[in-house]
Every structure is written in C-alpha cells, then in structure tokens.
Amino acid sequence: MRKRPCAQGEWCLRVSTSALTIPSAAERWSAACLCVLLVVATLVTLPIGSRPLPVVFAFLPIYLTLAAIADAFTAFLLLVQFSGQGSRPLALLAIAYTFTAVLAVAQACAFPNVFAPTGLFGAHSQTAVWIWAFWHGGFPAFVALYAIGRRTANEGFEPRPLAAVAVILGCGLALGLAAAAIAFVAPLPVLVQGNSYVGGFAGTWQTVIGLAVLGLIATVVLTRMASVLDLWLVVVLLGGLCDVTLTILAHERFSVGWYLSRVISVFTSITVALVFVAELSRLYHRFSRLASVDALTGIANRRSFDERIEDERRATARGGEPFALLMIDVDDFKGYNDAYGHVAGDVALRAVADAIVAVVHRPRDLVARFGGEEFAVLLPATTLDAAVVVGERIRNEVAARRIPHRASRAAPFVTISLGAAAGTAEEADAAALIGRADAALYRAKASGRNRVAA
C-alpha cells in the first residue's frame, strides 16, 4: 500500500488491485474450464459454421442490448474502483468498456432491417459490419494498453476528474468511429453483400484477429493473471477471439457460427460483470468484518459492541426481557506489561479473550474488547443472578489457564475482575447499564480483585 494526498489534503490509502483481489485456486479452475469450453465449442462449430439458420432480426437487438448493458455496467464498476484507487490502467479499461457499450448500441441502430431497411441515421449496408470491426478490434487494443500500464508505477493524482474524462473519451471515440462508418463508408472495402462476407474482408479480418490475439497475449504475459480482474479479462479476450473467428469463418450472417459467436460474446460480457459484482461483494464483506472485529484478539471491537447493545436494548423493549452486561478487567495488567513486555501482554490478552469465548457461546451473546485490557460481555435475555453465574465461570476459566503473572497482587497468575449489571430497556438505557456494570467492576477491584461484583 502507498499513500497519496487527496484533494482535501488528508492522506488516503491506495491499495493495488492485485493486493486485494488475488484469485483463488477455485477461481483459476473455473476460468480455465470456461476457456476450454469456449475453445471446444468453437472448434466443434467451425465445420458446420456456415450452415444457414432462420433469419431472426429480433435476435440482434436482444443480443446487442444485453451486451451494451453488461459492458456499461462493467465500465461503471471500473470507474468506481478507479475513483477509489486512482490506477490509470483501470481508467483505460473503463474507456474500453464504455467504447464497446456505445458501439453495441450503434450497431443495433445501424444493422439492416432491425429498425430500418439499411439502418438508422443514414447508415449504409456496410456501416454495421464496420462498426463490428471497430468494436472487436478496438477492445483488445485497449486491453493490451491496460496490460502494459499494469507494469508501470502510478504516480499520485486525484482520479475523480479523470473518471469523467474516461467516460467522455470512450463515448467520443465510439461515436466518432460510428459516424465515420456512416459518412466515409464509400471509400472503405465492401465487407458484406446481402448476408455474405466477401473478399473485402481480406486484410480487414486479419487486422481484427491480429488485435484480438495481441490483446490476449499481452494480458496473459504482462499481467500474469495476478488479480481476479486480469484472470477474467483473459476469458473475455479468448471469448472475443472465438467470436471473431466464428463470425469470419462462417462467411454468412444468420448461420450456425454467426449465432454462436454472438451468444459467446454476450455470455463473456455478462460473466465478467457478474464476477466483478461477486468480487466487490466479497471485498465488502471482508472489510465489513475487519471494521467490526478487534485485530488483536479476533473478537468484536468497541464499535460492534456499541451497535449491538443498542440493538439488544430495543429488542428487549419489545419483548420485555432483561438483558445483562459483564465488564471485565485484567488485574494489574500494567504490571504484567512492565514485567514481561508488551508482546507477551498481547499474548495474554488473546488468551483471556479465548477463555471468555470458551464460556460464552449462545448465539445472541457478544464478547467484545472494550478497550485496552478491558472486555465486555453482552448477555441478552439474562437476569442479574444468571449473569453472576456466567461471570464466575469466566473468572474460573481464566484462572485455570495459569498464565504466570509475578506482578499481580491477586494471585501468581493472570486473573480478572468482573462487574455485572442487568435491567430492562424501561429501567435504563445502554449508557446507564454500562455505567452500572463499570461501577460494579470497580467494587470488585477495590475488594481485592479476582472476583465478581454485581
């Protein structure tokens, strides 16, 4: 992780993509299986790829709408991640997906007999196929630039203005090429006559396939599929290569290969969008857990405790149940740190937390680190007498660990003092309950430590 200054002057953490999203073995196997499936489907279809199927013009808008939505959604997710990380390669990838989303819409408008005999906005019979060529050649070229950018260091900068620039560039480039395919189609080679691809594809299709191969090789070699994003980009690029190969070698629109190529295209687009959502969801849950767990002991932290005690107070207010609280303090812990060192003190705190958790295990109970060497145990639906019993069990469990403590005034091993309080929501709010339990804890310590006071 590196630090960079934000616009307001504070320091923000930049976390690299590969640091947060390293693919698991299962994800690599899933991607590999999908790649094998794509290659096998392509090879099996090639011998019969030119076989004609019924002409279904409604298939085009459905396919292109799905592709446009999936790519636009992926572009949005990339821009969100780019805004948080400030990684220039992510901006290039966002431009690529914005570019393809706009071109998908443009091809739907320009394709003959979908909305108009030769397409909308003055499109010609060659416009749609040239848009297709720009789309399937431009995307792998952008991904190759992304792969090259992944190998270079990023300097600190404010990414938010550049996110808007990425959207404008992607849209502008796509609309410019679509307009060029309408305005300057006459001097370009004829690529399709009726539904058949003709000799004009020679030179054009080699370029499109060459860019698809280049993007695939660059992504594999330069990124080494180090992140989940890199891994699934390889799947998308392989799907794009299969799409281009089937389209060109089928020689005919509305043939077996032509239909399958479009199914592969939209399938890979949707797959990477879903993978992105799943990855972001997993990261959200991971960071959510980190935000509620104490890093040293692995139990709930103070923030989680504050949220839960209010939730339980409201729940008991509805049901009329009592709820109890134990406040726990490690006896003479400053002396323990002075005698054994802070590293040993951390080990002792983890041992105390483990002892508490070993006793408190009801689903609604909560064990939390309250601060320093102090712990709190929330016991919903528990009376004061029952809380004292639980407190004694915890005290005995800690004492049974026999953790040496030569600086303790209570025993030659680590002990704890506990304060118990209980009540209903009508009797006291959360702050009052904590205050009563804390007062009981101080009475326990004043009475000689290693005991429970209520």
The number of beta carbons lying within 10 Å of the beta carbon of residue 441 is 23
pLDDT digits (tens, 9 = 90+) for 72-123: 999 998 888 887 776 788 888 999 999 999 999 999 999 988 888 888 888 8
**Of 237, 133, 235, nearest in space to 181 by CA:** 133
CATH 1.20.1070, the chain: domain bounds? 2-292
| Six token digits for residue 160 | 């938010």
The number of beta carbons lying within 10 Å of the beta carbon of residue 7 is 9
Q: What pLDDT, on a 0 to 100 scale, did the predictor assign at position 239?
A: 94
Host H or E run for residue 193: strand 192-193
CATH 3.30.70.270, the chain: domain bounds? 302-453
What is the Cα gyration radius of the chain? 32
The number of beta carbons lying within 10 Å of the beta carbon of residue 243 is 26
| Six token digits for residue 393 | 């069990």
How far apart are the C-alpha atoms of 274 and 368, rounded to whole Å?
36
Q: Are strands 196-197 and 374-380 parallel, antiparallel or unpaired?
A: unpaired
Distances (CA, A) of 254 to 51, 52, 201, 269: 9, 6, 18, 21
pTM of the model: 0.69
Contact 433, 423 (CB under 8 A): yes
Cβ contacts of residue 346 below 8 Å, gap of 6+? 296
* Fold held by 302-453: Alpha-Beta Plaits (3.30.70)
| Six token digits for residue 438 | 């804390």
Segments in 202-341 forming alpha helices (H): 204-218, 228-250, 256-292, 302-319, 333-340
How far apart are the C-alpha atoms of 143 and 215, rounded to whole Å?
6
Average pLDDT, integer, range 426-449: 87
pLDDT digits (tens, 9 = 90+) for 273-325: 888 788 777 777 777 777 788 889 989 999 889 988 888 877 777 767 788 99
Instruction: Please check the confidence at residue 156 and state whether its pLDDT lies above 70.
Output: no
pLDDT digits (tens, 9 = 90+) for 401-416: 999 999 999 999 999 9
| Six token digits for residue 6 | 């934000």
| Six token digits for residue 81 | 């991640």
The number of beta carbons lying within 10 Å of the beta carbon of residue 330 is 24
CATH for 2-292, options being 1.20.1530, 3.30.70, 3.40.50, 1.20.1070: 1.20.1070
Instruction: Please check the confidence at residue 9 and state whether its pLDDT lies above 70.
Output: no
